[in-house]
Amino acid sequence: MKTLIVGAKGQLGRGLQATAPADAVLTCVDVDELDITQPDAVRDFVAQEKPDLVLNAAAYTAVDKAEQEEELALAINGTATGTLAQAARDVGARFVHVSTDFVFDGLSGVPYAPDAPTGPLSAYGRTKLAGERLAGPDALIVRTAWVYAPTGGNFVRTMLRLMAERPEVRVVADQIGTPTYAPGLAAALWTMAANGVRGIHHYTDSGAASWYDFAVAIQEEGLAAGLLTQEARIVPIPTSAYPTPATRPHYSVLDKASTFDALGGPTPHWRANLRVMMQEIKAQG
β pairing state of 209-210 and 176-177: antiparallel
Q: How far apart are CA 264 and CA 196, in angstroms?
A: 14
Compute the distance between CA of residue 128 and CA of residue 78 in angstroms, rounded to an integer. Answer: 6
Long-range interactions of 16-20: CB distance < 8 A, separation 24+: 16/55, 16/57, 16/186, 16/189, 16/190, 18/183, 18/186, 19/183, 19/186, 19/187, 19/190, 20/190
CA–CA distance, 115 with 254 (Å, rounded to integer): 11
Q: In whole angstroms, what separates CA 141 from the centre of its chain? A: 12
Residue of 124, 148, 203, 251 marked catalytic = 124
Distance CA 183, CA 169 (A): 27
112 is catalytic: no
List, in order, residues 6 or more apart from 160 with CB less than 8 Å away: 218, 222, 227, 228, 281
The set of catalytic residues is 124
